[in-house]
Amino acid sequence: MANIRALLVGLSRARVSLAEAGRCASIRPSLLASLGGHYKLPMPAHWFSSAGLPPHLVVGMPALSPTMNQGNIAKWRKQEGDKIEVGDVICEIETDKATLEFESLEEGYLAKILAPEGSKDVQVGQPIFVTVEELGDIKSIPADTSFGGEQKEEQPTESAPQPDVANVSEQSSAVSRISPAAKLLIKEHGLDMSSLRASGPRGTLLKGDVLAALKSGAISSSAKEKKAPAAPSSQPTRDSQAQPATTSQKADTYEDIPNSQIRKVIAKRLLESKQTTPHLYLSKDVVLDPLLAFRSELKEQHGVKVSVNDIIIKAVAIALRNVPEANAYWNSEKEEAQKCDSVDISIAVATEKGLMTPIIRNADQKTISAISSEVKQLAEKARAGKLAPNEFQGGSFSISNLGMYPVDHFCAIINPPQSGILAVGRGNKVVEPFVDSDGNEKAAAVTKMSLTLSADHRVFDGQVGGKFFTELASNFSDIKRLLL
């Protein structure tokens, strides 16, 4: 039994090391997807210990995606004292991409939960629960035993002693980050940073830390010294008393909105994309009437219901296949463009937790009806947070469609390491001149749609962008090309 357990622990550690290597390596997401394409993930065991305690296993937060460095405990499927069988789902973990199930590799009993349900920003590797071999061993683990993963309780501010100079110096060194709300309070109250103590992750000073310090009065003297302006002695006392009340009222006029892991990663990646990727913007209006007529024909004559976006995906995929130099990505290590082996289209899907980009793989080889069915399935899974890693990691090109809103045209931000994203606006009726068969110029109403390409200029130059739009416009004007 001990040998089997040791073997399983070794395997799980190897999995964790592989995930960590994939998280830090600068390789394509599609490669990482091939390494971790499973949906239910095994638990990584960090260490055994028997010093003063029965044999137990401390399990840490795993790295469930290449970009994950922290996660949230969405739900505990098992409770303390429950029996755990091999393959049982112990909890659900919200990563930067989706909510994944955490599986057990061996049997035992859940002895202690170190990260309660709803815990936010739990660092990768931080212990989240403890298991034991026998049910009776649970009682042998004292409730106050620390495994390094419990959330520290805040000490009551009323009984907090006044910090001396040494403590102040230690606390100020612990503050490495300041939240926007805390920064605003510090500025409004003129607080001394050396008297504040951070309780957030990685030394982040939170709004609650500042409010607690104000309430306790531990920094009131320094705050008053910094805030009190040199004023004439004849200044009315009521004015100075009214000032803190006004400032406090202003401080309560905003609300902090918690950010999901997905939105945090989106914000970070899009900022990096705009700062490190040279964006080239190309736009073109295409006539939408042939596409709309083709869509109506599919519905009336063949009973096939597809959306405009489904046909756009197919049109873009065919254009990328015919212009292979546009279906490429920038390799930062080699500092050169590399062509993709397949046409994999990422589609932007809005969810409550943030924007997800599930992938239609080999879109150029699939029928429009097959694309339509796959888009519906992936969009439903994305909104439910049930996408598997291989369903959103990778992709060679993205499409962001806001045609269902009153948006005529917009520019999207490239999703690295991809080299392009097509922004699709709504269709509008416009009047344009045309020449009839008799050579007479007349006016006609047509439906036009704006397409804007955001391209990585290291991969796309003007010629490649022009060839791509030429192919794409041909697919819209002669829609039957999509059937070839």
Cβ atoms of 59 and 46 closer than 8 Å? yes
- On the CB side of 127, how many CA atoms lie within 13 Å of its CA? 20
Using CA atoms, how far apart are residues 91 and 113, in angstroms rounded to an integer?
11
Which residues make Cβ contacts (< 8 Å) with residue 165, sequence separation at least 6? none
Write down how long the chain is.
484
**Can you list the positions of beta strands (E) in 24-66?**
41-42, 45-49, 56-60
Catalytic-role residue among 256, 341, 461, 478 = 461
Q: Which residues contact 411 (CB under 8 A, 6 or more apart)?
A: 279, 281, 423, 452, 454
Residues 6+ apart with CB under 8 A from 348: 355, 356, 357, 398, 399, 400, 401, 412
Spell out the long-range contacts of 380-384 with Cβ–Cβ below 8 A and sequence spacing 24 or more: 382/349, 382/351, 382/356, 382/358, 383/349, 383/351, 383/352
Locate all alpha helices (DSSP H) within 237-367, ordered by sequence.
Answer: 237-251, 261-276, 289-302, 308-322
Q: Is 279 a catalytic residue?
A: no
Query: Rounded to whole angstroms, what are the CA distances from 315 to 3, 48, 174, 414, 478?
Result: 57, 56, 55, 20, 10
Six-digit token string for 23: 């998280």
Cα(396)–Cα(398) distance, integer angstroms: 7
Reported as type and span, the H/E element at residue 93 is: strand 89-94
* Residue located via tokens 């009065």: 217
Q: Is 461 a catalytic residue?
A: yes
Hey, how many other C-beta atoms are within 10 angstroms of the C-beta on 434?
A: 10
Residue 374's Cα: distance from chain center in Å?
22
> Is the peptide bond between 417 and the residue preceding it cis, with omega within 30 degrees of 0?
yes
CB half-sphere exposure, 353, CA atoms < 13 A:
21
Question: Which amino acid, one-letter code, is at 132?
Answer: V
SS3 86: coil
Pairing of strands 359-360, 354-356: unpaired
Give the Cα separation of 457 and 416 in Å (integer): 13
Active site residues per annotation: 457, 461
